[in-house]
Amino acid sequence: MRILVIGGTQFMGRGTVDLLLARGHDVSVLHRSDHHDFGDGVVRNIRADRGDLEAMSRILGREPFEAVFDFAYDWEKGTTADQVEAAARSCGTGLERYVFISSVAAYGEGLDRHEDSPLAPDDFPMPYVQHKASAERALFAMHRETGFPVTTIRPPFVHGPRQPFYREQFFWDRMLDGRPVILPDGGHARMQWVYVSNVAEACVRAIEVPEAVGEAFNVGHVEATTQRSFVEALARAAGVEPTLVPVARSAIQAQGGQVMGENLYFGEVLDMQPLTSVVDKATRVLGVEPTPLDEALRSSFDWYREQPRRPVDYAFEDRLLAHA
């Protein structure tokens, strides 16, 4: 198939491109740069900003893509439902599948959400949640109205090689430096993860399985995890015995703890309201079998060990630990 991957050079998108190439597809990536590192002649490069509706409409309208994967999200400006819908409506008549990479965040809140659970309303206070939920609503409305061949994928926290956020690395840095790991309120909050390779597999299976049209799919590990148990799994992958220190979340916030930027205490954007989903539909319909958590983390740790370490200032954590 002739395929376009919007935002196909990083993490989930890159893993999907690699798998598509292995399947023998003709792949193009659309992103903001004039080059990529997939190799000359292997993947076509299309330079554009997905927020530029005129450029997106022109590219998608003139190119006979049979499948489009939409990964790109602008973390500074947001990627709205209008932008996603405009791209979808610009696709040619030969389109067989439009795979939109959404998020478990589209549910807004709750535990053990199924694919038919309500999505967050358009006025949800978090822009990312609002954008993903409203984009899905727009795409599924197109499917109901015209048969538009959409499939959506809803991953939770994603881990694996090429992780762009300071997440697994955050904990491994501290473990290998002999540092304690802070657990907000003891780390009992539930959290759900998916291995990046399983996201890629679900995406590719979505264009191979006819029954995927018009459907949403939750993806994730089957192992139930809390903040504490996930850190313990990271420690097993690294072969270390972690030192875990419970600190009241109220005390962390009072000291200026942040989930992004400075004063991190539990990785980037990880200490969030618990939100989990049920993932058996992806196995039943797409045939995606989640990789066992420990196996996936060992692979991630091998990648981590090959990367340069980022400089870490432990001063904020030392202040928290002094009051623990």
Q: What are the extents of the domains in the chain?
A: 2-157+194-218, 164-191+224-273+292-322
Q: Between vectors from CA 283 to CA 278 and to CA 285, what angle results, nearest 5°?
A: 105
Q: What is the pTM of this model?
A: 0.95
Are 59 and 30 within 8 A, CB to CB? yes
Residue 106 CB neighbours (<10 A): 26
Per-residue pLDDT, 134:
98
Which phi and psi angles does 47 have, rounded to 5°?
A: -95, 120
In whole angstroms, what separates CA 216 from the centre of its chain? 15
Are 227 and 162 within 8 A, CB to CB? no
Helix H, strand E, coil C: the string for the chain is: CEEEEECCCCHHHHHHHHHHHHCCCEEEEEECCCCCCCCCCCCEEEECCCCCHHHHHHHHHHCCCCEEEECCCCCCCCCCHHHHHHHHHHCCCCCCEEEEECCHHHHCCEEEECCCCCCCCCCCCCHHHHHHHHHHHHHHHHHHHHCCCEEEEECCEEECCCCCCCCHHHHHHHHHCCCCEEEEHHHCCEECEEEHHHHHHHHHHHHHCHHHCCEEEECCCCCCEEHHHHHHHHHHHHCCCCCEEEECHHHHHHCCCECCCCCECCCCCCCCCCEEECCHHHHHHHCCCCCCHHHHHHHHHHHHHCCCCCCCCCHHHHHHHHCC
Per-residue pLDDT, 38:
81
Per-residue pLDDT, 182:
98
Q: Is the dihedral of CA 211, 143, 15, 110 positive or negative?
A: negative
Per-residue pLDDT, 82:
95
The two structure tokens encoding residue 174: 């501290």
CA distance 68 to 241: 44
Q: In tens digits, what is the pLDDT along the chain, a chain of 324 residues?
A: 999 999 878 899 999 999 999 999 999 999 887 778 787 678 989 999 988 899 999 999 988 999 999 999 998 999 999 999 999 999 989 999 999 999 999 999 999 999 999 999 999 999 999 999 999 999 999 999 999 999 999 999 999 999 999 999 999 999 999 999 999 999 999 999 999 999 999 999 999 999 999 999 999 999 989 999 999 999 999 999 999 999 999 999 999 999 999 999 999 999 999 999 999 999 999 999 999 999 999 999 999 999 999 999 999 999 999 987
| Closest to 155 measured CA to CA, from 99, 212, 225, 202 | 202
**CA distance to 54, 159, 308, per residue, from 163 (Å):** 31, 6, 13
Q: Is the dihedral of CA 70, 71, 77, 78 positive or negative?
A: positive
Are 68 and 3 within 8 A, CB to CB? yes
Residue 194 β-bridge partners: 158
The domain 164-191+224-273+292-322 having CATH identifier 3.90.25: the answer here is yes
Beta strand pairing call for 150-154 and 215-218: parallel
Per-residue pLDDT, 199:
98
Per-residue pLDDT, 232:
98
| Closest to 71 measured CA to CA, from 12, 159, 155 | 12
| Single-letter amino acid, residue 254 | A
Residue 28 β-bridge partners: 4, 44
Taking only Cα atoms into account, the Rg of the chain, rounded to an integer number of angstroms, comes to 20
Which of these CATH numbers, 2.60.120.620, 3.40.50.300, 3.40.50.720, 3.30.1310.10, describes 2-157+194-218? 3.40.50.720
CA distance 184 to 189: 9
